[in-house]
Structure 1
Amino acid sequence: MLGRIHSYLGSCWAIGMAILAPISVLLPLSSAAVAQTNVLPKGVANKIDRDIVQRFKVPPASIKVQNFSAQAWPDGCLGLGKTDEVCTQAVVNGWLVEATDGSQSYVYRTDNTGTNLRTETSPQAVLPLPVARKLRQAARRELNVPLNKLRVTAINPRTFDGCLGIFTPRRACTKIAIPGWQAVLTDGRSSWVYHLDRNASRIVQNSAASKALAPVAITFATTDAALASNILFTSSSSGDLTGRTITNTLSTDGKVTRLITAPNIRSRPVLLRTLNPVRLDRFKAVLSRQGLPNLNGLNYLTSASVADVPTVTLQSIGSSVSYTSIEKQRVPKSLQSVITAWEAITK
């Protein structure tokens, strides 16, 4: 999944598509292609418009091209070939295009004429237009951000309880199944997470997960590994030049251990310290007070996450969240508080 983040690296407009763009090796453009980088052929734009209307059921009048750039795709599948698909290996000059319906973005790859056209945006990653409009209007009122600045950048289909999946200490939630979405909105400077039901009749900001600052992009994790029953909390840092993975673990009896692994190294867990019951309870209170369950399944990542800078994953019971280590001052305040409390234990 981390490999999909590169799509927003070149410019701020692509932050929202961070989870949708797989890595492809872009080759140098020919001189003819470079000469055309300031003009998107009308035929290409028209074919993209028609595909958006057919695929995503968007009214034609609401669609406009927001950004585009000339590209050299590595193969005939434009770098988006499926695992069982045979792609010609010739370089294909073409376009990377972002269109918008005013609420959310649609990213396309095409050849020079638009005859070969593929989208990076799946239908599962797009809200129905009326729902997206309701969400943006609710966010505008709550955040006092101009409507034309707000874009839906990522969504995750969810089934919520009666509290729409928002954890609050000591609050009971009815155990009913409410289908809906977890959605990320951005104004280009900050990002917010919202929970909403299928028709957007209920919309609630997940404040614990919100207010990540650019260049951090909020994406959704695809898996959530379970912890052993005797583990209260763990952190795993990996992805730097050394190839090491450093895992710190807090067990329910207060023992804090560290395990370092690398391609040619595997250490034994080292006991760092044992927390007394008071300090153990204090850390548990931080996790509860900061609403760690509200961060479950979220990634707070930047371009550094694919550039030999470690990504840190924190896990607790029912919660898993990742962030780029050098950008921890830009993640939401609730996550910063958890990071600070954990670093005080493991330093």
Structure 2
Amino acid sequence: MIENRSTAATKSHQRVFAALILTSILSLGAAMTLLQSASASPVEPSQDAVGLMLKQKRPGNPNNSGANRLPTQVANAVRKDLSSTTGIAPGKLKITEYSRQTWSDGCLGLGKAHESCLAALVPGWRVVLSDGRKTWAYRTDNQARVLRLEESQPDPATLPKSLADAVLKDAIRRTGAPSSELRIVKTEKRSWPNSCLGLNEPGVGCLLMMVPGWEVTVEGSQQLLVYRTKESGSAVLLDEAASKITNSANLRESVLAAVLKQASAQLNVPASSLKIVDAEQKTWPNPCMFNFGKICTREYNPIAGWQVTVANSAQRLVYRTDKSASKVMLDKEASQITNAQAPESVSKAVLQQVSELSGMPISSLRIVKAEQKKWPDKCLGISSPLILCAPASSEGVPGWLVTVEAGKERFVYRTNADGSAGAFDGVASLPESVANAVLRDVSKLSRIPMSSLSIIQAQRQTWDGCLGISKPGVACPEVGISGWEVVVSDNQNTWVYHTDNNSKVALNKDGSKAPNTTTLNPTKIPSSELPPSLTQGMVFRAIASGGIAGRTYETTLMNDGLLMQIRVGDANDSERRVFRVSPKQVKQFEQLLKRQKFSRFNQLRYSPSSGAADYINMMISSQNSTTAYADIVQNQIPQPLQEVIKAWNALYASRQPL
């Protein structure tokens, strides 16, 4: 009996002890779960923040095992790097989120300008850390041998939500990525130089004005999109040159490798210098689509595959493949292949310069010709009055003459052997239509045959509506007209012209050094075409009409120094301007009118030859005389009248606002 009691007691103690152990294990497990949840769960963003920072993926769960768990070496590497950057102890940095990613290139999608990034899909991790007050996001490869810190997240309070929504909407449309994979990573307030937000395109007129707005960077799905916007959000424009957009995120690695291998062999360049710029899934109607140049049967026998575009700084190749890339064929008609053999450093330098000059992304440019040259001096044969050029050796300076196509425009650059020095060759780049228009006008003006004239200098310019040549009393539209400044010479005289990109030309008389040409014979102005006489208190009046703007402006000088300008036909008088000059200047101008005997030109008109276009008609009046002339024949009118016009221009230029 005693033995049975003892046995029962022992069993009872064993049951209690087992229960205590089980309870301890459960408590410890719960504590570990709470600890892991605290370290892994991020703080949920506010509703406003969600609109600005869309999650790319759900946070990683530390309880996951195997491939989904963040490797210890990655966690340690990002903590160590952030600690060295911020000075925060590694123990105070907690990983709040992580997710597996496949990055678009060797720079993990965060390559800087001019940085060469390996064109390959890189598996890795995105890791978010926090010290309790601020968060940081890292990108790594699988072993954390490559680390990249993302830009700080934008403050949701600064960028208007409506603007953020508009940007993200466009990014979704362009990339085809779901909204959950896109996020705004950077915002910056900017003031853009014109109505095109600084993204000028050939043939598009942009109003010259300061436009407040934003630069917004969107990232996700292996894409980087940089936007320029107006402050109101009424304009949202993609900066293609600053963006990195491809459709190759879903491209299979076997296809990528096969295409890059073939392109490398085709161009005889390393694969690391090539980049996949576009990839599109296709369904080819027939397998013989891979046998270019051969006769294809007409039956529909679809085959799934890809169309992949590969590019470097000078070439653009389009390939067609089947789904596994067991067949890869070059589409020669769709490709842009040149025989240019300029070194990669030269090609990159020239394309970067052309991109900045033209405003077009490098992906839209194409090198069409490259020639080896021996330049006569260190200035590459392009002289300037303000620059002293060191002479070359007897063998000359080795280099390249590179021609680039940018849409309908052509850019020619001279470089040294490695592209570290270069110069824009404006004369060689000048459109033929512009060159011919300028030479014809100089020949007509000077009576010198075109064969005896040569263009010695040409520079790209952006003009206002008057092509940069203002006239007294004429308000020039503030539009950006792409064009040229062209200098012509006959070895003794020079003529400077301002042009657009086609055939509109205007002589810059102040910049030219040429003798006066034959004086024109005037005609009489009919009395019916004379303007009203000046009233009491008026000293001088200039009426300008015609030109590119097609408007008429009237500028009047009063004897008290007031200078008033109106636009004829402006019902609201909204363009009235009032300025002032000194009484001394008024008196000097009146004396000049008498000295040059302005009255002898009364009712005389000096007109250009028939066929001239886009010139400005000027009609100038004093108290007792009126004469008229066209601006393009100003250097062919009598010298005394030229002196009057010159003095009036100087007086107008010295005006001060009231």
Higher relative contact order (CA 8 A, sep 6+): 1
Q: Give the TM-score, by structure 1 length.
A: 0.40
Q: Give the TM-score, by structure 2 length.
A: 0.24
